[in-house]
């Protein structure tokens, strides 16, 4: 069960990240942009850093991030604004050959 924080953004976690968040499918964090949200998420769950962000703080290329079903790559990437009630979904990219 997720705990909702007043004024927070809900982040939906893929199965691969849930073990690092105590098995939670969703967590609530604060932030004004997608970058703020991801950095707060990593601050709460440091084990996610390498799967979400590069060493320079940019978004890892194998992670897709959506705000209310809109892909942030086609918006303002990490600078995409978010507000209370928005839902951020993290999806690992599928690659192979």
| 22 and 48 Cβ atoms separated by less than 8 Å | no
pLDDT band at 78 (very low <50, low <70, confident <90, very high): very high
The average confidence (pLDDT) of the chain is 91
- Paired with 87 in beta bridges are 10
The domains of the chain are located at 9-92
Task: Determine the average pLDDT of the residues in 51-63.
Answer: 91
Contact residues for 25 (Cβ-Cβ < 8 A; gap 6+): 2, 12, 13, 18
pLDDT band at 6 (very low <50, low <70, confident <90, very high): low
| 3.40.50.970, 2.60.120.560, 3.40.50.720, 3.10.20.30: CATH of 9-92 | 3.10.20.30
Nearest-angstrom CA–CA distance, 55 and 49: 9
**What pLDDT, on a 0 to 100 scale, did the predictor assign at position 41?**
97
pLDDT band at 47 (very low <50, low <70, confident <90, very high): very high
Task: Determine the average pLDDT of the residues in 1-30.
Answer: 86
pLDDT band at 21 (very low <50, low <70, confident <90, very high): very high
Provide the whole-model pTM: 0.88
Query: How big, in percent rounded to 5, are the helix, strand and coil portions of the chain?
Result: 30, 25, 40
């Amino acid at each position: 069960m997720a705990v909702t924080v007043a004024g927070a953004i809900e982040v939906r976690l893929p199965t691969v990240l849930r073990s690092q968040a105590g098995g939670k499918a969703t967590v609530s964090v604060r932030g004004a942009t997608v970058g703020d949200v991801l950095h707060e998420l990593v601050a709460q769950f440091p084990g996610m850093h390498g799967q979400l962000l590069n060493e320079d703080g940019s978004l890892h290329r194998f992670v897709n991030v959506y705000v209310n079903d809109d892909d942030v790559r086609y918006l303002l990437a990490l600078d995409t604004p978010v507000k209370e009630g928005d839902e951020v979904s993290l999806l690992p990219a599928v690659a192979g050959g």
